[in-house]
Amino acid sequence: MEEINVLLLFDVVLGLTLVWLAWQTLSSLDLFRAIVLFIAFGLLMALAWVRLDAPDVALAEATIGAGLTGALLLSALAQLSASQKNETKPSLFIRLTLGVLLFFLVIALAYTVLSLPTKAVGLSVEVAKNIELSGVSNPVTAVLLNYRSYDTLLELGVLLLALLGVWSLGGVSTNKSSFPKSSFVNPVLDLVTRLLVPIFILFSGYLLWVGAFAPGGAFQAGAVLAAAGVLVFLSDWYLPSKYSGFALRLVLVIGLVWFVSMGFSFVLLDNAFLEYPPEFAGGLILLIEAAATLSIGISLAALFLGREPATKSDSNIDIDTGVNK
Amino acid sequence: MILDILTVILLLVGALFFLAGTLGLLRFPDVYTRLHALTKADNVGLGLIVIALMLQADSWFVVGKLLFIWILILLAGSGVAHLVANTAQKRGIKPWKK
C-alpha cells in the first residue's frame, strides 16, 4: 500500500509538471526558450508513457517527439531571420477569441473523457488471440505492421509528402555550410560524431530487429538513424553530390514502394491488400520494417537539413564553393 | 542483504550529486560554473546510480547494458559541455570573477 502511494505521488507530480511545461512552452515569447521547454516536455511525456506501461510509445516520444522534433524546430529557428521572429503579444481580440474557443474545447474534451466507460476491454483480447497469425510476438508491432498496417503505410506517405513540401519551399542547398573539412569543425564534436555515429547505426539495427518481440520497430529505429544524420550534418560532413540525386531519392521512397508492393504481392493468392499469409508474415514484416527504417531515417535527416541537397545536374551552382557560376 | 544496503547508500549518494548539480545549475553565476555543476550530476551522480542498479541486476547482460548507458552519457555529456563552453567563449562571455 505504501509503495502505491509513493507511485501515485510521483504520477501526480509528473502530470502537473507536464501541464505546467505545456503552458510555459505555449506562453513563452522567446522562441528558443519555447523549443527547449518543448524538448523537456517531450522527455517527461516519454516518462509518462513508461508509467502507463506503453514502452513502445515512450520510445517513439523520446526519439521523435523530443529528440528529432526538437532538432527540427531549432534548425527552423536558425533559418528564421530576426525580422521574421514575432516576439510581440497578439491583440486582445485574438487572445479573447482563442480563449473562448479553447474553453469550449476543454468542456467538450472533459465531457468525452467523463462519458467514457470506466472499464473498457478494447481490442487487446482480439490482438492477443490472433498474435500467432501475425508473425511477430510484440502486440504493438503486430498492430502496426499487420492488423492496422494501413495506418503505418499512410504515415510513411505523410513523411514523404512533408519532405517534398520542405524541399519545394526550401530551395536547393548549395552545401554552403559544408566547407571542405578543415579547422572549422570543432575537434571534440568531430571525435564525438566519429564515435557515436557507428553506435547509432548499430542501435538502429537492434531496435529494428527487436521490434518483432519487444518494444522497438521501424519508427524508433528510423529516428535513431536520423539522429546519426543530424550529428553528421552538425559536424559539417555532407553527402557527395553524386549520391544526392537518384540514390538519395531511391532510399527516400523505398520504404513506401516496398510496403505497397509487398501489400499487393499476395493479392494474386486470394489475399486482401496488405494481408499476409501467416507463415511468411514474420519475415515480410521484418523486410518491410527494414526498408521503412531506411526511408524514415533518411527522410527525417533530410528534413533537418531543410533544403534539397544539390545534385550534379544543378550545374549552375558550384558544388564545392556554393557560388553561382 | 549487504548488496541491498550498498545499493541504497549508492543511490542516496548519487541522488545527492544530482541535487547538488541542480542547485548549482540554478544558483551559480555564469555559464561556465553552471556547466561545472551540471557535469558532476551527469558523470558522478549517474555513475553511482548505475553502479547501484548493477548490484540489483538479474544478469550480466543487464549489467553490460547499464554500463553502456553510462559510457554513452559520459561521452555525450562531456562533448556537449565542451561545445556549450566553447560557443560561450567565442561569443565573448567572460568567466565570472568575484
pLDDT tens column, A214-225: 888 888 899 999
Burial pattern A286-324, b for ≥16 Cβ within 10 A else e, equals: bebbbbbbbbbbbbbbbbbbbbbbbbeebeebebeeeee
Rg (alpha carbons) of chain B, rounded to whole number: 16
- Lowest-confidence region among A10-14, A82-86, A125-129, A159-163: A82-86
pLDDT, chain A, mean: 82
Distance, CA of A135 to CA of A21 (rounded, Å): 41
Tell me: pLDDT of A176 over 80.
Answer: no
Contact by Cβ (8 Å): A295, A254: yes
**Would B98 be classed as within a structural domain?**
no
Question: Between A and B, how many residue pairs show a Cβ–Cβ distance under 8 A?
Answer: 18
Tell me: pLDDT of A175 over 60.
Answer: no
- Grid coordinates of A245: 540525386
> Residue A46's pLDDT is what?
95
Q: How confident is the model at residue A101 (pLDDT cuts 50, 70, 90)?
A: very high
**Chain B residue at shortest CA distance from A191:** B79
**Would B48 be classed as within a structural domain?**
yes
Distances (CA, A) of B60 to A215, A224, A264, B89: 21, 25, 45, 43
> Residue A318's pLDDT is what?
46
Contact B76 A188 (CB under 8 A): no
For chain A, percent of residues with pLDDT exceeding 90: 30
**Chain A residue at shortest CA distance from B68:** A199
Tell me: pLDDT of A182 over 50.
Answer: no
Rg (alpha carbons) of chain A, rounded to whole number: 23
Q: How confident is the model at residue A321 (pLDDT cuts 50, 70, 90)?
A: very low
Which residues are within 8 A (CB) of A144 and not within 5 positions of it... i.e. 6 or more apart? A151, A152, A217
**What is the average per-residue pLDDT within A79-90?**
67
CA dihedral A309, A312, A313, A318 (to 10 degrees): 80
pLDDT, chain B, mean: 90
Tell me: pLDDT of A197 over 60.
Answer: yes
**What is the average per-residue pLDDT within A30-44?**
92
ipTM: 0.83
CA dihedral A60, A66, A70, A71 (to 10 degrees): -60
Distance, CA of A262 to CA of A129 (rounded, Å): 25
> Residue B43's pLDDT is what?
87
- Grid coordinates of B83: 561545445
Tell me: pLDDT of A165 over 70.
Answer: yes
Tell me: pLDDT of A39 over 50.
Answer: yes
> Residue A161's pLDDT is what?
93
Distances (CA, A) of A145 to A241, A284, A319: 34, 10, 41
Q: Give the minimum alpha-carbon distance from A198 to chain B in angstroms, rounded to a whole number.
A: 12
**Would B97 be classed as within a structural domain?**
no
| Best CA proximity match to A32, nearest among A68, A67, A100, A80 | A80
- Interface probe for A, chosen from B68, B82, B87, B89 (most Cβ of A below 10 Å), is B82
> Residue A205's pLDDT is what?
93
**Would B8 be classed as within a structural domain?**
yes
Q: Give the minimum alpha-carbon distance from B76 to chain A in angstroms, rounded to a whole number.
A: 7
**What is the average per-residue pLDDT within A190-205?**
91
**Would B27 be classed as within a structural domain?**
yes
> Residue A322's pLDDT is what?
46
Over the stretch B68-88, which tens digit does the pLDDT of each residue have? 999 999 988 888 888 888 888
Over the stretch A272-297, which tens digit does the pLDDT of each residue have? 777 777 777 788 888 888 999 999 99
Distances (CA, A) of B61 to A201, B57, B64, B67: 20, 9, 5, 10
Distance, CA of A266 to CA of A286 (rounded, Å): 16
> Residue A312's pLDDT is what?
63
> Residue A117's pLDDT is what?
80
Tell me: pLDDT of A323 over 70.
Answer: no
Contact B86 A192 (CB under 8 A): no
- Number of structural domains found in chain B: 1
Contact B82 A188 (CB under 8 A): yes
Over the stretch B22-40, which tens digit does the pLDDT of each residue have? 999 899 988 899 988 888 8
Distance, CA of A317 to CA of A300 (rounded, Å): 25
Q: How confident is the model at residue A313 (pLDDT cuts 50, 70, 90)?
A: low
**Would B42 be classed as within a structural domain?**
yes
pTM: 0.80
Hey, what amino acid is at A103? F
- Lowest-confidence region among A28-37, A55-64, A89-98, A143-152: A143-152
For chain A, percent of residues with pLDDT exceeding 70: 87
Cα atoms in the 13 Å half-sphere on the side-chain side of B79: 20
Phi-psi label, residue B96: left if phi above 0, alpha if psi -120 to 50, beta otherwise: beta
Q: How confident is the model at residue A235 (pLDDT cuts 50, 70, 90)?
A: confident
Contact A189 B72 (CB under 8 A): no
Q: Which residues of A touch B83 (CB under 8 A)?
A: 186, 188-189
Structural domain boundaries, residue B56: 2-90
Contact A195 B75 (CB under 8 A): yes
Tell me: pLDDT of A89 over 90.
Answer: no
Q: How confident is the model at residue A179 (pLDDT cuts 50, 70, 90)?
A: very low
